[in-house]
Structure 1
Amino acid sequence: MYEQLKAIMVDVLLLDADSVHPDATLEEAGIDSLAVVELSLVLSQHHGIEITDDELIELDRVTDIAALMEQRTGL
């Protein structure tokens, strides 16, 4: 799930690929409040994964987002 998340972050949110790694904090990865909203929309509309922007902003690291994605998809 992490690789799918990284692809979204780099290709859709246009974040720096070198900054997006599992242990990166959201800030280190370049995820600001606008990116959180956009990520929530992309996950919902294009991947069928319902995670609100409020839930995303509460997470600490990129790996936490990937784990929540896995949980929500039942993988």
Structure 2
Amino acid sequence: MSEVLQLNVDGLRPDASREDAGIDSLAVVELSLVLKQHHGMEITDDELFELATLAEIVTLMEQRKRTAA
């Protein structure tokens, strides 16, 4: 996620919000598209907007990766 969105991960914690990490609404849409196109994960931008923390986003990505495999 940090590579796709070009995030500076220094000092970020799993409980950081999207906003704290610098992930705005455009970045959420971009992340959703990249996950589908490059990783075969179906995660909609609406689903990502419902998640409050980076840890929740990563957990969902891990779940979808397991089901996509």
**Shorter-normalised TM range:** 0.7 to 0.9
TM-score, with structure 1 as normaliser: 0.78
14-23 or 34-43: which moved more? 14-23
Unpaired runs of 5+ residues, structure 2, are: none
Q: How many residues align?
A: 67
Q: Which one of the candidate residues 14, 33, 55 is aligned to 1:22?
A: 14
Q: TM-score, normalization: structure 2? A: 0.84
Structure 1: gaps (5+ residues): 1-7
Q: Which amino acid aligns with 1:63?
A: A
- Rounded to whole Å, the distance in 2 between the matches of 1:58 and 1:31 is 13
CA distance in 2, matches of 1:54, 1:67: 16
Q: Which has the larger radius of gyration?
A: 2
TM-fit CA distance, 1:19: 5.0
Question: 1:22 deviation in Å?
Answer: 1.3
Distance in 1 between residues matched to 2:63 and 2:6, nearest whole Å: 25
Which of structure 1's runs of 4+ aligned residues deviate more than 3 A?
none
Identity of aligned residues (%): 63
